[in-house]
Chains A and B, each alone.
Chain A
Amino acid sequence: MKTLIHYLRAINAENIKEWRIEWKYKPDFFRQFVEPFVYLLPYFLYGVALLGGRFSEHLRSITGIGDMIAYTFIGYLIMGFLNTACWAMGASLRKEQWFGTLDTIFVAPVPRWVYVAGMAAHSTCHQGLIMFIQAIVITSVFAIVFKTTGIFFALLIVALMLLALYGLGVLVAGLTIGLKQWWVISEALSTLILVVTPIAYPLAVLPLIIRKISLFLPTTYGVIGVRHLLLGEHLDIGLGTIFLRLAVILIVWCVFGFGIFILMDRYGRKKGILSLY
């Protein structure tokens, strides 16, 4: 119990430290609250350019939802948490290296994963706040109506997806120890996940092989589950199956992520490449 409290204090210290660093760069801090809107608008405009309006009969025929804006928005809102895994957690150790503090924090009496967990805690709070503001603004501006009865289970699905993504974040952080140039790993992984996850389209339009791959991603179940609960998207699989598969993926991804992290940490120290650039 004492050890757990010790770790939790370290995680919180890392979280507070990160808020302080971000607050030091105020333009960048406020930018993070505006950016999701600028990121999202091209997807809306692309849809409008294709349809000549907001509603799609074809989308309605395959998903039950005709509103392209609402459909696309939910997908990209949920995918915001991918940033937590790939960028914030992945970059955590590399950033310490840039600041010149990696070696110093690595000799502190806590396991290495605690730093990554601290970064995850910070990023989840920060990203959650950004997404909350984004959800309020977009739903108000575009007059999107959600089914409020589905909110509780939707949040539960998001929580499971997020925990599974922590496994990915730990994996990226581990790979950074060995491969150094973290942003390439993060960008490559996030691009692949963005391509395979049915963010702005249903699973039905994906080629068979990509559809099969997407079934191994927590983001797939996160997006389709939340869309089903909040917008009423037609699904081929039941809600129970979504929860079950998410739970299995969570375990597999976390075990795999932590396994790779431990391996890379050992490898880094054995080869003496920890402080190399």
Chain B
Amino acid sequence: MRIIIQELRKEFKILLAYPIEIAFWIISPILWVIPLIFQGKALIGGLQSSAFGNLAGTSEYIPYVLIGAIFSTYMFSAVWSMGNSLRNEMFYGTLEHILSAPVRPIYLLLGKGLYNSILSTVFVVAQILICIVIFGLSITLSKIVPMLFFLLLLLIGLYGVGFIAAALTLLVKEAHGLLHMFEYVLFLFSPIRYPVEVHPVTRAISVFIPLTYALIALRGILLGLKYDFWQTSLYLFALDCAIVPLGIVIFNLIEKKTKTRGTLAHY
């Protein structure tokens, strides 16, 4: 526990050294939605689409995309921050020190993961507040409890994704681009901007991504769309149970491999 707290303290100290990052992460997901609004207006000439309604259950595409953008913050934060966390330690020149400390590396990653979860929640809350003020989004207390429940289930699954991303960095070193690619793949196959039912391939692959179920539930709660609470939570929970152990196993295997080969400190 002390290790995780120290890791948290360190990460927050580094973040506060670059305060511009905080403002950026709060505003950017909302900015990413703006081109989609303009594109929608250019294509259909309004803010409602019947074709979109047939697929998504709501013809209003702006709230749909906005919710996708806000809650995808969690997933991209897991991929980016946890994936880059070990590479950053490499750049700082501290990777060998922390990995040779008498602690299991998975605890260090847990600390980094917890830091991401706290930070992402702060960003998401700020983004929701912006949406309440600008777009008139309404959130009642009765919506907050189920939202928190699904966010918790989402976060657990994303820890697994984060472990895999961190392992990838240890393996290929210059993982910045690969993480970007990973992010785009998740963008493509998750219902962030559009319902995955738009294409059979996106529909088939999306079932393996935790964000898919979380977004179905969160949109159901916030926009009043039809969804099955128990079924969605059960799918998400089952996915968590598979992804987290898989992430830990992959990370441990690759960490062992890099130590055996002596490539840990390689650039």
Where the two chains meet, the residues of A that have a C-beta atom closer than 8 Å to any C-beta of B are 24-25, 27-28, 31-32, 34-35, 38-39, 41-43, 45-53, 56, 58-59, 62-63, 68, 72, 98-99, 179-181, 184-185, 187-188, 191-192, 194-195, 198-202, 205-206, 277
A–B complex contacts, Cβ < 8 Å, 7 sampled: A42-B193, A45-B194, A47-B43, A181-B20, A187-B28, A192-B31, A199-B35
Binds A, one of B48-56, B154-162, B217-225: B48-56
Contacts of A58 in B (CB 8 A): 42-45
> Would you call A181 and B21 a contact (CB within 8 A)?
yes
A28 to chain B, nearest CB (A): 5
Let me know if B40 is at the binding interface, CB within 8 A. yes
> When chains A and B are docked, how far (Å) is the Cα of A206 from the Cα of B37?
10
Complex: A72 Cα to B24 Cα, angstroms: 27
13 more A-B residue pairs beyond the given contacts A58-B43, A72-B39, with a C-beta to C-beta distance below 8 A: A28-B175, A28-B178, A35-B177, A35-B180, A43-B39, A45-B199, A47-B39, A49-B61, A50-B43, A184-B21, A187-B28, A195-B35, A200-B35
Is the C-beta of B131 less than 8 angstroms from some C-beta in chain A?
Answer: no
| Closest residue on chain A to residue B90 by CB atoms | A98
Q: Could you tell me if A59 and B194 are in contact, using CB atoms closer than 8 angstroms?
A: no
Closest chain B residue to A47, Cβ basis: B43
Measured CB to CB, the residues of B under 8 A from A are 18, 20-21, 24, 28, 31-32, 34-36, 38-45, 49-52, 54-56, 61, 91-92, 172-178, 180-181, 184-185, 187-188, 192-195, 198-199, 202, 267
Number of A-B contacts (CB under 8 A): 130
A-side interface mostly: helix
Min Cβ gap B68→A in Å is 11
List of A residues within 8 angstroms of B180 by Cβ? 35
Contact flag A49-B52 (CB < 8 Å), given A31-B177, A202-B42, A205-B38: yes
With a CB–CB cut-off of 8 A, which chain B residues contact A99? 267
Separation in Å of the A266 CB from the closest CB of chain B? 22
Shortest Cβ distance from residue A215 to the other chain B in the assembled complex, whole angstroms: 16
B43 near A59 with CB under 8 A, answer: yes
**Identity of the chain B residue whose Cβ is nearest the Cβ of A199 in the assembled complex:** B35
The 5 A-B pairs at the shortest CB distance, nearest first, are namely: A52-B51, A201-B42, A49-B194, A58-B45, A25-B174
Of chain B, the residue at the smallest CB distance from A27 is: B172
User: A48 to B45, alpha carbons, bound, how many Å?
Assistant: 15
Q: Do the beta carbons of A200 and B28 come within 8 Å of each other?
A: no
Do the beta carbons of A46 and B181 come within 8 Å of each other?
no
CA distance A201 to B61 in the complex (A): 16
The distance from the CB of A150 to the nearest CB of chain B, in whole angstroms, is 22
B44 contacts across to A, CB distance below 8 A: 50-51, 56, 58
Pick from A38, A42, A185, A188: contact of B194, CB under 8 Å: A42
Residues from chain A with a CB closer than 8 A to the CB of B43 are 47, 50-51, 56, 58-59, 68, 201
User: How far is A187 from B184 in the complex, measured between Cα atoms in Å?
Assistant: 15
B34 touches A45 (CB 8 A): no
Q: In the complex, are the beta carbons of A50 and B24 less than 8 A apart?
A: no
A201 with B39: CB separation less than 8 A: yes
User: Which residues of B lie under 8 Å from residue A195 when comparing CB positions?
Assistant: 31, 34-35
Q: Are A277 and B92 in contact (CB under 8 A)?
A: yes
Report B-chain residues with C-beta under 8 Å of the C-beta of A200: 35, 38-39, 42
Give which listed residue, B38, B172, B195, contacts A28 with CB less than 8 A: B172
In the assembly, what is the distance between CA of A192 and CA of B32, in Å? 9
Indicate if the CB atoms of A49 and B55 lie closer than 8 Å. yes
In the docked arrangement, what's the CA distance between A180 and B92, Å? 14
Bound complex: CA of A179 vs CA of B31, how far in Å? 22
Cβ–Cβ < 8 Å partners of A62 in chain B: 42
Chain A residues, CB < 8 A from B188: 38, 41-42, 45
Q: Write the nearest CB–CB distance from B18 to chain A, whole angstroms.
A: 4
Chain A nearest Cβ from B29, distance in angstroms = 10
Distance from B224 Cβ to chain A, minimum over Cβ atoms (Å)? 20
Tell me the bound Cα distance from A222 to B34 in angstroms.
20
Asked whether A49 lies within 8 Å of B42 as measured between CB atoms, the reply is no
Q: Which residue of B lies closest to A91 (CB)?
A: B176
Which residues on the B side are within 8 Å of A39 (C-beta)?
A: 184
Is there contact, CB below 8 Å, between B178 and A27?
A: yes
B20 touches A179 (CB 8 A): yes
- Between B44, B92, B175, the greatest number of chain A beta carbons within 10 A of the residue's beta carbon is seen for B44
Cβ-defined contact, B24 with A184, below 8 A: yes
Smallest CB separation, B172 vs chain A (Å):
5
| Contact A28 B177, beta carbon cutoff 8 Å | yes
Q: Are the C-beta atoms of B181 and A38 separated by less than 8 Å?
A: yes
Closest beta carbon of chain B to A25's beta carbon, Å: 4
Which residue of chain B has its CB nearest to the CB of A28?
B177
Q: Which B residue's beta carbon lies closest to that of A63?
A: B42
A31 to B172, CA, bound (A): 12
Chain A neighbourhood of B198, CB < 8 A: 45, 48-49
Residues of A within 8 A of B49 (CB): 49-51
List of B residues within 8 angstroms of A50 by Cβ: 39-40, 43-44, 49, 51-52, 61, 194
Given contacts A41-B188, A45-B202, are A191 and B42 in contact (CB under 8 A)?
no
